[in-house]
Amino acid sequence: MREKVSRYVVVSDHVYGDDDGLRVSILYATRTAQALFVVPRIADAVRAGDLDAIPPATLAQLRQAQAVVPDGEDELEAILERNRTAALDTSTASFILLPTSYCNMGCTYCGQEHVRGRLTADHRDRIRARVLRALRLPATRHLNVDWFGAEPMMGYAVIRDLAPDFVRAAAEKGVDYTSAMVTNGSLLNARNLDVLIRECGIAKFFLTVDGPPEVHDVHRPMKSGRGSFWKIIRTVRAALDNADYKHVTFDFRTNVDVHNQDVIHRYIELMAELGFASPNVNFTLARVRPWGNDVSAIELAGKDYAERELSWLAAMQEHGLPFSRLPALAKRITCPAVKRTAELIGGNGNIFSCTDHPLVPEAERTSVLAHIAQADLPDIRPKGEFDDWHDEVAEGRSWCRDCVFLPTCGGSCPKAWHEGNPPCPSYRHNAQGRLDLMAGRLGLRPVPADGLMPL
């Protein structure tokens, strides 16, 4: 069978080495999100597409990583078909629930409009019935319930009411259950965090911290006027010392714009000093982008951001803070918006497919798929705007079809593409620098192509 080098392979520009004479290059196979360390002549052969120059054992490894594939394979179609199959899989039912429409913060870059008001008991019962009905479908093998906002902890009573029922019902049916919360963290404390973990089954918390305290508290202001940085930090830091929470992950996201870009280094140093170099912590940096609103005055350009980001990632590595250098898993589901068995239920009962739609006035008018109170509501949500995303990629309606990172990115955000705002991840622009970081983690550094160490 004739074979070829996959179009979905990134080869490091650098050869890496150490003082003992070790010399390697890195191949990153995006179809499987595998990074392979190979001797430089193998990297040269991959660049040239010369498979005859690759020894059989190494060739077998490249096949396994899908860096080498059958010569006649249409790789784009193979990736899209893989992703279509995952999107059509009905074994996982996913719900993103807003237990409230209100947030206690007033971040200027947020595109949501928050309103006060509690869910009625009838509304809660409808949500409970909707989730449990999906759980009991014959095909369901996994149930995922994520809590989103506004600020979900403003609806803590709702979470306490609903989540234990989901956990219990999944256990009774023998269905795997996973749950995460996206929260600003300001309302978490030792007591309610314990309830969320032990009773509500939440094992991952996404928290946003936008810099050191004096910057975070301005960038993400509380409507009460109080600061939130130290409240968040103390709560999570104490949780890291609890042996019962070793299975729980805390992901710190930092939204970066023109106002806080110059303090990211100081933030990284502070978080390391405070003891967040922990295996169940992750750090994510993300540039501020439109969310149904105009952020052009504060948004950083993609390539400029990616260039600066490398220095921040290097600082994280230096200080031992966990982060993703490059994706370690191929992305089969771009986002919930492309999967019919995934839906988002807003605090007013509107059902959407996209997390950017609830509480955004225009989307609340134009992008509602159904309402939780509908008598004829089907088991699987109605078709949404982005369910044909894979066909759009195939048709070239974004440049994703020609991108080496399609298998790990999936297109990132169909909504952003529809709005004319390419949402490419920063690693599209700085992947080579991230490969340098990957090598540096192992004590290797770039060396001249001739293999001679500089004097």
pLDDT digits (tens, 9 = 90+) for 195-217: 999 999 999 999 999 999 999 99
| 3-class DSSP assignment, residue 203 | coil
Structure tokens at 353: 């497919």
Using CA of residue 89, residue 145, residue 363, residue 120, what is the dihedral sign?
Answer: positive
In a domain, 356, yes or no: yes
**CATH code for position 357:** 3.20.20.70
User: What total number of domains does the chain contain?
Assistant: 2
- 352-408 pLDDT, tens per residue? 999 999 999 999 999 999 999 999 999 999 999 999 999 999 999 999 999 999 999
Name residue, tokens 């409970």: 128
**Which pLDDT score is estimated for 454?**
41
Same domain, 108 and 133: yes
Q: For the purposes of burial, counting CB atoms within 10 Å of the CB of 161, is it exposed (0-12), middle (13-18) or buried (19 or more)?
A: middle
Final residue belonging to a domain, choices 345, 371, 397: 371
- Do residues 142 and 92 make contact, with C-beta atoms less than 8 angstroms apart? yes
End-to-end alpha-carbon separation of the chain, Å? 48
Same domain, 12 and 124: no
In a domain, 325, yes or no: no
In a domain, 403, yes or no: no
Q: Is the pLDDT of residue 119 over 60?
A: yes
- Domain residues for the domain of 165 are 85-300+334-371
Local confidence band at 450 (pLDDT 50, 70, 90 cut-offs): low
| 3-class DSSP assignment, residue 46 | helix
In a domain, 192, yes or no: yes
Same domain, 99 and 53: no
In a domain, 311, yes or no: no
In a domain, 214, yes or no: yes
Q: Is the pLDDT of residue 118 over 80?
A: no
Same domain, 18 and 123: no
- 158-176 pLDDT, tens per residue? 999 999 999 999 999 999 9
Structure tokens at 95: 């719900």
Same domain, 71 and 89: no
In a domain, 390, yes or no: no
Same domain, 213 and 120: yes
Q: Mean of the pLDDT values across residues 315-332?
A: 98
For residues 9, 12, 17 and 22, what is the CA-based torsion angle, rounded to 10 degrees? 30
How far is the C-alpha of 232 from the C-alpha of 149, rounded, in Å? Answer: 17
Q: Mean of the pLDDT values across residues 142-167?
A: 97
Same domain, 192 and 286: yes
In a domain, 391, yes or no: no
Question: Which residues 6+ apart lie within 8 Å of 437 measured at CB?
Answer: 310, 313, 314, 317, 325
Same domain, 160 and 102: yes
Same domain, 70 and 142: no
